[in-house]
Amino acid sequence: MPEVAVDLRDVWVFYNGLPALEEVNLEIQTGKYVGVLGPNGAGKSTLLKVILGLLVPARGQVRVYGEIPQKLRHRGEVVGYLPQRPLNNPHFPVSVLDVVLMGRYGRVGLVRRPSLRDREIALMNLERVGIPHLAGRTIGEVSGGEQQRVFIARALCVEPRLLVLDEPTVSLDACAQDEVFEMVNRLKDELQLTVLMVSHDIGGVARHVDDIVCINRRIHVHQAPPIGRLGLESAFGCSVEYLFHGEIPHRVVKVHDD
C-alpha cells in the first residue's frame, strides 16, 4: 500500500471568526503530482500553510509523512517550499547562487557558513533547473521565469521529500508556464518527490498532474484529470464553459446570458 505523504482530517481554520477552511479531508499519496485549484480567497494558500506547519488549525488533525508538520518545520528538512512572493526586493544585490544557498540554512543553521558541500548541492540544483550559467548573476538581473527556477532550486536545496509550490507560474507567459510544469514533472520523477502545486492555470495543471484538488473553503473535487463541469462549478461558484484540447479544459470563463 502506498505511503501517505499528506493527511488532513476534519481540518477547520478561522480568520476573525470566519471559516477559511471547513471540514477539509485530504489524503495525498507519496510520489503524486497534485494541482490545487480554486477561486481567489478559496483557502488555497491557507491549506498550504496548514500543511507546512505555519498555521495550526482550530480543529482537526494534520500529518505530513506521519509527523505533526511543526516538528518537520523546525528540523528544516522534508518539505521544500516556494511561496507566492519569494522576492520582496527584486533589486537586492545578492547572487543567484547565494539565493539558492539560502535553501541550505535549515540544515546548516543561520550562524554557520555554508560548506563546500553546500555550494556543490546549490550548483547541482541550478543545473537541475537548467540555469547553472546564471550562478554569478544578481537575482534582479534575471527574467521572471529564470527567477522562478532559482527559487525552485532553493526549495530543492532542502533535499525534500515534499515540494510545495504556491503559484509558481504567476505572471509568466504561456510558454514559460508550460516549461515550469514540465520541469517540475521531471524533477518529481528524478528526485522521487511528492509535489503539491497551487495554480490558476487549469489547462496547464490538467496536462501534467496526477490528481487535481478543487477547493473553495472545503474540498469539492479530488480526482485525476480530467475534471467535469460540475466539479469546477461547485468549486468556482459560477457556471463555466470550456475550451478543450482533447479532454483537457484549456481555460474557464463565466457564462453570460444573451
pLDDT score for 19: 94
d(C-alpha 73, C-alpha 52), whole Å: 7
Q: What would the mean pLDDT of 151-167 be, rounded to a whole number?
A: 95
pLDDT score for 254: 47
Does the pLDDT at position 159 exceed 90? yes
pLDDT score for 75: 67
pLDDT score for 238: 52
pLDDT score for 243: 34
Tens digit of each residue's pLDDT (9 = 90 or more) over 174-225: 888 889 999 999 999 999 999 999 987 777 777 889 999 989 999 988 888 7
pTM attached to this predicted model: 0.86
Residue 155 lies in a domain: yes
pLDDT score for 84: 84
Tens digit of each residue's pLDDT (9 = 90 or more) over 46-98: 999 999 999 999 999 999 999 999 888 766 668 999 998 776 676 778 999 99
pLDDT score for 248: 45
Residue 91 lies in a domain: yes
Does the pLDDT at position 255 exceed 90? no
Assign 158 a pLDDT band (cuts: 50, 70, 90).
Answer: very high
Residue 248 phi, psi (nearest 5):
-100, 125
Residue 252 lies in a domain: no
Residue 8 lies in a domain: no
Q: What would the mean pLDDT of 6-10 be, rounded to a whole number?
A: 97
Residue 125 lies in a domain: yes
Query: How would you write the chain as a 3-class SS string?
Result: CCCEEEEEEEEEEEECCEEEEEEEEEEEECCCEEEEECCCCCCHHHHHHHHHCCCCCCEEEEEECCECHHHHHHHCCCEEEECCCCCCCCCCCCEHHHHHHHHHHHHHCCCCCCCHHHHHHHHHHHHHCCCHHHCCCEHHHCCHHHHHHHHHHHHHCCCCCEEEEECCCCCCCHHHHHHHHHHHHHHHHHHCCEEEEECCCHHHHHHHCCEEEEEECEEEEEECCCCCHHHHHHHHCCCEEEEEECCEEEEEEECCCC
The domain total for the chain is 1
pLDDT score for 10: 97
Does the pLDDT at position 172 exceed 50? yes
Assign 144 a pLDDT band (cuts: 50, 70, 90).
Answer: confident
Domain limits at 115? 83-159
Residue 258 lies in a domain: no
**What residues pair up with 166 in beta bridges, in sequence order?**
198
Residue 144 lies in a domain: yes
Does the pLDDT at position 37 exceed 60? yes
Residue 61 lies in a domain: no
Average pLDDT score over the chain: 85
Does the pLDDT at position 251 exceed 90? no
Tens digit of each residue's pLDDT (9 = 90 or more) over 100-143: 999 988 776 666 788 999 999 999 999 999 999 999 999 989 98
